[in-house]
A and B are shown apart, each in its own frame.
Chain A
Amino acid sequence: MISCDEAVHICNKSQYKEATLFEKLKLKLHILICTSCSVFSKKNKKLTVLCDKAHLHALSELDKKTLQKQIQDRL
């Protein structure tokens, strides 16, 4: 049986589709017997859904640096 720490780690990875099938199976089993991890897993999935739905955009680090420099130059 895996520990809660490990379960949480797998749960986070699976939000980014980076958990293996075997890991997901271990997580499923753990969730069956652990209430707190089951709650965490539900919330985590919900957060992923919300982030997908929001269609967020972010400036790249390069863009941010350029902007920062332009502001600095004008100060």
Chain B
Amino acid sequence: MPFNQNSFTFDRYYYSMSENKLHPNTWVDRYANYLFNYAIARVNDAEVAKDLIQETFFAGLKSAENYMGAATERTWLIAILKRKIIDHYRKINSKKGKAEIRMQYTANTESEGNWLEEQVADPFSLQENDALENEELGLAIQDCIDTLPEKQQLVFTMKTIRGLSTEDICNELNINPSNLWVMVHRARTALMGCLNENWFKL
């Protein structure tokens, strides 16, 4: 961001220098995957999530001068992403026939009548809590991955998350398999240490 003649912008820029600063150049490398996982957990569609992240980054650039540095860059971007997700749901809901309100409590025609009691969550089911916990776990892992050195991040993500074969990764990154395994090993050891406090109760 260049220094502006506008002193107002300058003050804000100056202020934000002392605390947190925006570095749009590093956004993709540092936050894209975290935001992607955050979005996917909420919209359940990779393509939509991708678009939302793009919109988030653009909106971030647009309102960069409003950033006061009170929150970290990532928190700030997440806040924007949340708005984008809400907007997304508003948009898809407005398409579905505005005048029509059709409430069907149950899709299951076998049950008699619309008994809401049949629909309440089973308190003994762990499924719902599991989903929440898994999202939290996913973001915790992604957080740890983001602290790894760049090359390890890349190799670990390709191997573990995207599930590419050793051969493909070696070809794409131009490294040999023993290089790859050394990096996988370092990444895994670092992740074990990073996740240790909250998730690793052996």
Task: Tell me the smallest distance from the CB of B186 to a CB of chain A, in Å.
Answer: 10
Enumerate chain B residues within 8 angstroms of A16, measured Cβ to Cβ.
Answer: 159-160, 166
Residue of B nearest to A48 (CB): B160
Chain A residues 50-65 with CB under 8 Å of chain B are 50-51, 53-61, 63-64
Name the contact of A43 in the complex, choosing from B36, B54, B192 (C-beta under 8 A).
Answer: B192
> Are A57's CB and B192's CB within 8 A?
no
A-B pair number, CB within 8 angstroms: 91
Q: Say if the beta carbon of B142 comes within 8 Å of chain A.
A: yes
> Are A67's CB and B53's CB within 8 A?
yes
Q: A71-B27, A74-B61 are in contact. Are A59 and B36 (CB under 8 A)?
A: yes
Name the contact of A51 in the complex, choosing from B49, B154, B160, B166 (C-beta under 8 A).
Answer: B160
Task: Tell me the smallest distance from the CB of B176 to a CB of chain A, in Å.
Answer: 14
Residue of B nearest to A8 (CB): B185
> Are A67's CB and B185's CB within 8 A?
no
Interface size on B, residues (CB 8 A): 41
Name the contact of B141 in the complex, choosing from A42, A43, A56, A68 (C-beta under 8 A).
Answer: A56
> Are A67's CB and B36's CB within 8 A?
no
Interface size on A, residues (CB 8 A): 32
Residue of A nearest to B39 (CB): A57
Residue of B nearest to A60 (CB): B162
Name the contact of B200 in the complex, choosing from A43, A59, A70, A74 (C-beta under 8 A).
Answer: A43
Q: Say if the beta carbon of B181 comes within 8 Å of chain A.
A: yes
Q: Say if the beta carbon of B69 comes within 8 Å of chain A.
A: no
> Are A18's CB and B195's CB within 8 A?
no
Enumerate chain A residues within 8 angstroms of B54, measured Cβ to Cβ.
Answer: 67, 70
Q: Say if the beta carbon of A75 comes within 8 Å of chain B.
A: yes
How many angstroms from the CA of A64 to the CA of B142 in the assembled complex? 16
Other A-B contacts than A47-B191, A50-B195, A67-B32, 11 sampled, CB-CB below 8 A, are A9-B185, A16-B159, A50-B137, A50-B199, A51-B160, A54-B137, A57-B37, A59-B36, A70-B54, A71-B61, A74-B58
